[in-house]
Structure formats: structure tokens, C-alpha cells
């Protein structure tokens, strides 16, 4: 983390709670909240499944990096990222250099439960989403860990509890 950073960046897999916890955390700390997925949707005027459909995952990743380059220029924000943002080395460096990085995770079973009702995650539109989540995590977990300033299992805690724990870790950093 850059010393005395006023930004908190949440990374972690789909369903870990980045968007939900991030919004609450920002409110609690009086910081501006951003979500990289929402930012991409606002800029393009279409939803994420549509971007995947027309531009593929590669097109989405390109847009994700463009958005991140802009968001790291802001101060005093909480940013919830998309689960795959850590795939690009440039993104990992941008996150590490400009904020306090919190890795949120939970067991794959919980990820599955929490993502089951929402059909807006193109990578989970498969006959076996649990297997997909496990495969993604196997590749990505070391990448999340490599940039995390703090790690939190949201599997057994309510979002409000997660917020408290993050604030504690952030203030002690
Ligand atoms: N700590 C939590 N406990 C229980 N449910 C949660 C928790 N965090 C998130 N959820 C629920 O899980 C779903 C996915 O959360 P979301 O914030 O979109 O995850 P992410 O942005 O990491 O993919 C939402 O319906 C949300 O209400
Ligand atoms: O894990 C991923 O690659 C993705 C996670 C999603 O965000 P959430 O992690 O907020 O669900 C979203 O960016 C897109 O569907 C791709
Ligand atoms: Mg999200």
C-alpha cells in the first residue's frame, strides 16, 4: 500500500460481498463509493453481459483497465472491483500503489449461494457454476493474496461485521 493512502480497494471472487460491503464501508467512513463494474456500465450505456456478448471477455478486461486507470487518480474513495480485475499485472500494480487493498473471500458454496439468483455474471452462465467458481479461484487466489494488505472471510459474518473488521485493519495499517 502507498503510505497514508485514503483509498480502500476491495478485491476477491464473485459473491464475496465486495459491492455490498463496499457501499456500507464507504457510508460508514464518509468516503465516495465506486464499483468498477457499475462504472463500466455507466460509460458504455450497456450492462456487463452485453459487453461480454459483443466484445468478449478480452473487451471487458480492456474496459476494466481503462476505468481503473481513472479511478486510481481519485482520493478518499472506496472501490469495489470485479472479481477478475487482478488478472492483469497492470491492474494489480495500480491497486497496490494507490490504496489499502482488502481481499474478501468466502467458501465456494457460499459464493454459489450468493450468486445463484443474479444472472448478470456471464462467467457463471454454465451448466456447473460451482465447478467454474472453484476453477477461477484456483487461478486467482494467489493473485488476490499477492496484493492484499488485509484478508477477510465474509462467509460467517454479516456485511456490517465485515465493515467493522475492515475499518479496524485499515486504521491499524
Ligand atoms: N457478508 C454477507 N453475508 C450475507 N450475504 C452477503 C454478504 N455479503 C454479500 N452478501 C450477498 O451476496 C450477494 C452478492 O454480493 P455482492 O456484494 O454482489 O458480491 P460481489 O460484488 O463480491 O460479487 C448479494 O445478494 C449480497 O446481498
Ligand atoms: O470474476 C469475474 O471475472 C467477474 C466478476 C464480476 O464482478 P463481481 O466480482 O462483483 O461479481 C464482473 O466484473 C464480471 O462479471 C466478471
Ligand atoms: Mg460486485
pTM, whole model, 2 decimals? Answer: 0.98
Q: Which CATH superfamily is domain 8-161 in?
A: P-loop containing nucleotide triphosphate hydrolases (3.40.50.300)
110 known ligand binder: no
Question: Dihedral angle at the C-alpha atoms of 56, 58, 43, 18, nearest 10 degrees?
Answer: 100
pLDDT in tens, the chain (173 residues): 544 689 999 999 999 999 999 999 999 999 999 999 999 999 999 999 999 999 999 999 999 999 999 999 999 999 999 999 999 999 999 999 999 999 999 999 999 999 999 999 999 999 999 999 999 999 999 999 999 999 999 998 999 999 999 999 999 99
**Which ipTM was obtained for this model?**
0.98
59 known ligand binder: no
12 known ligand binder: no
The DSSP code for 111 is: H
Q: Which residues on adjacent β-strands are paired with residue 80?
A: 10, 35
Ordered by start, the domain boundaries in the chain are: 8-161
CB-defined site of ligand 2, < 6 Å = 14, 18-19, 37, 48, 82-84, 121-123
Handedness of CA 97, 22, 109, 13 (dihedral sign): negative
**What is the model's pLDDT at position 5?**
84
**What is the model's pLDDT at position 2?**
47
User: What Cα–Cα distance (Å) separates residue 106 from each residue in 132, 156, 169?
Assistant: 15, 8, 18
Q: How many helices (H) and strands (E) does the chain have?
A: 7, 5
**What is the model's pLDDT at position 71?**
98
Distance 122 CA to ligand 1 centre (A): 17
Ligand nearest to the CA of 144: 2
Q: Are 95 and 145 in contact (CB under 8 A)?
A: no
Amino acid at each position: 500500500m502507498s503510505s497514508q493512502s485514503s483509498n480502500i480497494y476491495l478485491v476477491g471472487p464473485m459473491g464475496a460481498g465486495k459491492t455490498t460491503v463496499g457501499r456500507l464501508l464507504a457510508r460508514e467512513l464518509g468516503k465516495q463509493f465506486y464499483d468498477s463494474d457499475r462504472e463500466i456500465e455507466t460509460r458504455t450505456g450497456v450492462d456487463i453481459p452485453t459487453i461480454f456478448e459483443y466484445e468478449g471477455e478480452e473487451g471487458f478486461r480492456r474496459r476494466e483497465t481503462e476505468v481503473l486507470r481513472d479511478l486510481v487518480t481519485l482520493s478518499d474513495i472506496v472501490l469495489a472491483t470485479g472479481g477478475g480485475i487482478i488478472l492483469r499485472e497492470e491492474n494489480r500494480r495500480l491497486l497496490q500503489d494507490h490504496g489499502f487493498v482488502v481481499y474478501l473471500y468466502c467458501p465456494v458454496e457460499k459464493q454459489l449461494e450468493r450468486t445463484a439468483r443474479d444472472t448478470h455474471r456471464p462467467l457463471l452462465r454454465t451448466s456447473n457454476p460451482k465447478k467454474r467458481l472453484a476453477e477461477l479461484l484456483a487461478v486467482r487466489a494467489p493473485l488476490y493474496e499477492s496484493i492484499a494488505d488485509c484478508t477477510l472471510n465474509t462467509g460467517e459474518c454479516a456485511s456490517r461485521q465485515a465493515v467493522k473488521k475492515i475499518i479496524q485493519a485499515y486504521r491499524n495499517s
